[in-house]
């Protein structure tokens, strides 16, 4: 069962990191160039995609992680795992903070207000979240020397 959890955990992480990179790129490349109506449409599109990808991933990743730790409790003796858990929880908190700022930015645009300060906050939270997520991936890869999930998936396909 552990391998199933590991693959599911990995797929959710790929979903979260992949969609974070794509959505951040869309925001960075388009937001400053658009009119108010187009900005609102862009933000609602980002929110819609985030609701379907990042939100479920950020909610279920900790649950799957706990199930994995219950199966292989020796990971709790590895100091790196404590850092991974702490950084992951901070990334989840930053992601949810960015969603709050995104909602405020949408409300500001709908009411005709200014959104520049919200855009800076949103970008800050998103970049910090992405750095933390990539940091967690780097920590695991550096500790193990390889992402073992690739081997498990490959051996399952053979």
Does residue 125 register a pLDDT over 90? yes
pLDDT of residue 93: 92
The stretch 112-137 carries a mean pLDDT of: 88
Name 92's Cβ contacts closer than 8 Å, sequence gap at least 6: 58, 61, 62
- Sign for the CA dihedral angle at 148, 139, 92, 23 comes to negative
Model confidence pLDDT, tens digit, residues 24-83? 999 989 888 888 888 889 999 999 999 999 889 988 999 999 999 999 888 888 888 888
Does pTM top 0.85 for this prediction?
no
Q: Which domain range does residue 96 map to?
A: 2-157
What are 78's two structure tokens? 């590895």
Number of domains in the chain: 1
């Amino acid at each position: 069962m552990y391998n199933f959890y590991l693959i599911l955990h990995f797929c959710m992480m790929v979903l979260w990191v992949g969609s974070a990179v794509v959505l951040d790129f869309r925001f960075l490349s388009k937001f400053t160039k658009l009119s108010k109506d187009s900005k609102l449409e862009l933000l609602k599109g980002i929110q819609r995609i985030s609701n379907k990808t990042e939100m479920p991933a950020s909610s279920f990743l900790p649950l799957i992680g706990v199930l994995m730790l219950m199966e292989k409790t020796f990971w709790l003796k590895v100091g790196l795992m404590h850092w991974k858990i702490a950084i992951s929880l901070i990334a989840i908190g930053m992601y949810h903070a960015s969603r709050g700022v995104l909602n405020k930015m949408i409300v500001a645009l709908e009411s005709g207000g200014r959104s520049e300060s919200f855009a800076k906050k949103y970008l800050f939270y998103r970049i910090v979240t992405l750095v933390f997520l990539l940091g967690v991936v780097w920590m695991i890869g550096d500790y193990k020397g390889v992402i073992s999930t690739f081997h498990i998936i490959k051996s399952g396909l053979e």
